[in-house]
Amino acid sequence: MSDSMALVRGIVTGCEIMNPDTFCLLIAVWEILVGMSLLFYHQKFLQWVDRFSNEKVKVRVFLLGWVVIGVLALSKNMQPAWDLPGVMSLLAWLTTVKCGLMMISPYGLISFSLSLLKKANRWVGVFVLAIGGLLIYSFLALQS
């Protein structure tokens, strides 16, 4: 009984849940997947996003997942700063706030983003892949 109480006490009192490097890796993988889809399957990806964005429940669950990931990342470090963990904290704040606001009214921002992506060529995927690569580099730097 005391072991389970200690576990609950550790969870409730705010033990670290997600390190900045884990958050960095999650965002990097996401950016790489989106970047590759935009680069190699531009039209199919945009059609999929358009279909997916019409399903309100799925969109809100997806956004809630990113809010949870952002909050978990902020549980370790809530203070943005100019060092790498601080930048990851800022990224976690931006992710949490953006996805939280999008949960309230997701369709305006999604339709705006889709209109921008439809006007852009597939090379925007290279830019997104570069961001993913930079985040992988940041992940490796945080590991050392």
What backbone torsions phi and psi does residue 131 show, to the nearest 5 degrees? -65, -45
Number of domains composing the chain: 1
Q: Is residue 10 part of a domain?
A: no
The residue to which tokens 């370790």 are assigned: 76
Query: pLDDT truncated to tens, each residue of the chain (144 aa)?
Result: 455 544 444 444 455 578 888 999 999 999 999 999 999 999 999 899 889 888 888 989 999 999 999 999 998 888 888 888 889 999 999 999 999 988 888 777 778 888 888 888 888 999 999 999 999 999 999 988
Q: How many helices (H) and strands (E) does the chain have?
A: 7, 0
Q: Is residue 5 part of a domain?
A: no
- Token pair recorded at residue 142: 């945080």
Amino acid (one-letter) located at 101: L
User: What gap in Å lies between CA 109 and CA 41, rounded to an integer?
Assistant: 22
User: What gap in Å lies between CA 11 and CA 23, rounded to an integer?
Assistant: 19
Q: Is residue 6 part of a domain?
A: no
Q: Is residue 60 part of a domain?
A: yes
Q: Is residue 57 part of a domain?
A: yes
Q: Is residue 61 part of a domain?
A: yes
Range(s) of the domain holding residue 46: 30-143
Q: Is residue 63 part of a domain?
A: yes
For the residues of 72-97, what is the DSSP string, one character each? HHHTT-----SSHHHHHHHHHHHHHH
**Per-residue pLDDT at 4:** 52
Q: Is residue 109 part of a domain?
A: yes
**Per-residue pLDDT at 3:** 55
User: What gap in Å lies between CA 68 and CA 59, rounded to an integer?
Assistant: 14
